């Protein structure tokens, strides 16, 4: 799509051979056509483009508010204040630290969560200053996920500014615990507290044509080997915790997980011992295992645990001992899942993307985001991008350039309105769930 123009109205452009074709496609196309015929919706799209510079300025403000893992409160308070300023009457910071705001519809439609995560991967004390050079912003978390939060706030602002009346309810959520060992604690708390959520849209990432409908699951462990220790010379013959760990790592490194469904593993950290001339009495390693299939993930997990335990057994056998033991502590659990390609939520998001981007074919992707949790529960969910371009995420040299950045909020707006419906214009395409979680 030409960056100087708003999305071109192109109703009825899906063929019978479209990857969206199937159950529910007629409803998606009808809703899409009706929304694009609405002067209000077209004005909102134009206003989102005009709002681009203000959204970028807010993105920079958000990035300069520290939000380390498990310490997102300052950024949460900012978003809480903004939710209220943008017209949400029912807002709160919940016990987990999530910021939640409810915008009620007519009461006759679905409840849709629109979310973006608050946290970054950077520890307390990290310099969060954002700099700008030739239109490029640099700063930790400037794209991930200050952009997602700014896009969410921009869409909320326009919906309230135009006083649109949706059929379904919109729950706006800024979550904690998406990054690192946050373990999706924010979105897990959300779904424990609310059993009536019918759909979930996360705004995360930058690549506008990327639509995530599959959740890459992960299991993370800390393995702690313990033994008697001793002097390297005087006590030679005692088993070593480090040697036991080394045996395990060597075997793990030879594993060949499946390429399809993609399954991976890595020993991320390893440490232990007290000095160069001491037999190690303790050694620790962390391991990250991921897969797009929960079956393959659990299979790999069982293999790794067996290898780790065998490392301790083999080290004991080497020295005719029983003094080495190992603990396997689960420190991270992100469930895998998928939202069907022909589901209304995927069809709606894909349909709007073909218009906002001008790309006739939108590829589906797998990733690890807040949407993992609802997907694993069978709640329809997707993750869409905030717009713009960037790189070096999760590094101190992260950068962001607002190239056609407004496409992110435009796509989010259209997707949300298609899912919950606009009174007098379109019916919701997101069905209400008939069973509780």
Rounded to whole angstroms, the Cα distance separating 393 from 338 reads 25
On the question of pLDDT at 225 being above 70, the answer is yes
411 pLDDT tier (thresholds 50, 70, 90): very high
Rounded to whole angstroms, the Cα distance separating 73 from 245 reads 38
Q: Quick one: DSSP state of residue 107?
A: S
On the question of pLDDT at 1 being above 50, the answer is no
Secondary structure (DSSP) of 6-35: PPPP-TT---TTSTT-STTHHHHHHHHHHH
Mean pLDDT score, 70-95: 97
437 pLDDT tier (thresholds 50, 70, 90): low
Mean pLDDT score, 77-91: 96
Rounded to whole angstroms, the Cα distance separating 219 from 288 reads 6
Mean pLDDT score, 90-110: 96
Mean pLDDT score, 228-238: 97
Query: Which run of H or E residues covers position 90?
Result: strand 90-93
Secondary structure (DSSP) of 136-199: EEE-TTTTTTHHHHHHHHHHHHHHHHTT--BSSEEEEEEES--SGGGTTHHHHHHHHH-S---E
Residue 25: its pLDDT value, please?
Answer: 65
24 pLDDT tier (thresholds 50, 70, 90): low
Residue 23: its pLDDT value, please?
Answer: 47
Rounded to whole angstroms, the Cα distance separating 50 from 143 reads 20
CATH architecture of 217-334: 2-Layer Sandwich (3.30)
Beta bridge partners of 169: 111
pLDDT one-digit tens code per residue, 155-205: 999 999 999 999 999 999 999 999 989 999 999 999 999 999 999 999 999
Residue 11: its pLDDT value, please?
Answer: 35
Query: Which run of H or E residues covers position 55?
Result: helix 52-63
What share of the chain has pLDDT > 70, as a percent?
93
On the question of pLDDT at 338 being above 90, the answer is yes
Rounded to whole angstroms, the Cα distance separating 165 from 281 reads 65
On the question of pLDDT at 82 being above 60, the answer is yes
Residue 10: its pLDDT value, please?
Answer: 37
Rounded to whole angstroms, the Cα distance separating 356 from 2 reads 10
pLDDT one-digit tens code per residue, 369-410: 999 999 999 999 999 999 999 999 999 999 999 999 999 999
Rounded to whole angstroms, the Cα distance separating 117 from 100 reads 12
pLDDT one-digit tens code per residue, 115-159: 999 999 999 999 999 999 999 999 999 999 999 999 999 999 999
Per-domain boundaries in the chain: 25-215+336-420, 217-334
Residue where the block lists tokens 């620790």: 284
Mean pLDDT score, 89-98: 96
- Please state the CATH superfamily assignment of the domain spanning residues 25-215+336-420 in this structure: Zn peptidases (3.40.630.10)
Secondary structure (DSSP) of 157-172: HHHHHTT--BSSEEEE
Q: What are phi and psi of 369, to 5 degrees?
A: -140, 180
pLDDT one-digit tens code per residue, 34-78: 998 999 999 999 999 999 999 999 999 999 999 999 999 999 999
Rounded to whole angstroms, the Cα distance separating 183 from 60 reads 26
Which residues, including other chains, have CB under 8 Å from residue 277's CB and lie 6 or more apart?
Answer: 231, 232, 233
Mean pLDDT score, 317-338: 96
Q: How far is CA 263 from CA 180, 214, 252, 313, 318, in A?
A: 19, 14, 14, 27, 33
């Amino acid at each position: 799509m030409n960056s100087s123009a708003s999305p071109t109205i192109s109703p009825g452009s899906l063929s019978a051979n479209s990857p969206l074709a199937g159950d529910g496609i007629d409803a998606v196309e009808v809703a899409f056509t009706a929304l694009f015929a609405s002067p209000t919706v077209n004005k909102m799209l134009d206003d989102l483009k005009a709002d681009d510079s203000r959204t970028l300025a807010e993105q920079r403000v958000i990035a300069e508010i520290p939000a380390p893992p498990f310490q997102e409160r300052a950024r949460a308070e900012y978003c809480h204040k903004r939710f209220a300023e943008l017209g949400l009457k029912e807002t709160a910071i919940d016990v987990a630290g999530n910021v939640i705001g409810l915008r009620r519809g007519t009461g006759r439609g679905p409840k849709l969560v629109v979310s973006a995560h608050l946290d970054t991967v950077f520890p307390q004390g990290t310099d969060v200053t954002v700099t700008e050079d030739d239109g490029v912003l640099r700063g930790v978390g400037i794209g991930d996920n200050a952009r997602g939060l700014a896009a969410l706030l921009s869409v909320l602002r326009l919906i309230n500014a135009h006083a649109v009346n949706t059929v379904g309810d919109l729950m706006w959520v800024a979550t904690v615990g998406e990054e690192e060992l946050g373990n999706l604690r924010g979105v897990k708390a959300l779904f424990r507290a609310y059993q009536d959520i019918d759909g979930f849209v996360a705004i995360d990432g930058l690549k506008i044509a990327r639509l995530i409908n599959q959740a890459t699951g992960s299991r993370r462990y800390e393995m702690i080997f313990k033994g008697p220790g001793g002097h390297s010379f005087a006590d030679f013959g005692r088993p070593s915790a480090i040697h036991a760990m080394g045996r395990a790592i060597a075997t793990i490194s030879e594993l060949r997980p499946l390429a399809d469904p993609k399954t991976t593993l890595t020993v991320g950290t390893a440490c232990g011992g007290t000095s160069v001339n001491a037999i190690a009495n303790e050694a620790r390693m962390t391991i990250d295992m991921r897969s797009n299939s929960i079956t393959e993930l659990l299979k790999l997990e069982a293999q790794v645990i067996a290898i780790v335990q065998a490392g301790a057994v083999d080290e004991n056998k080497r020295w005719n001992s029983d003094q080495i033991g190992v603990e396997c502590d689960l420190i991270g659990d992100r469930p895998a899942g998928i939202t069907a390609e022909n589901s209304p939520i995927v069809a709606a998001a894909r349909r709007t993307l073909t218009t906002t981007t001008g790309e006739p074919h939108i590829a589906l992707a797998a990733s690890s985001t807040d949407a993992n949790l609802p997907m694993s529960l069978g709640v329809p969910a997707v993750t869409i991008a905030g717009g713009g371009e960037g790189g070096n995420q999760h590094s101190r040299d992260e950068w962001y350039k607002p190239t056609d950045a407004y496409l992110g909020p435009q796509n989010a707006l259209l997707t949300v309105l298609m899912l919950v419906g606009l009174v007098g214009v379109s019916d919701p395409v997101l069905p209400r769930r008939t069973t509780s979680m």
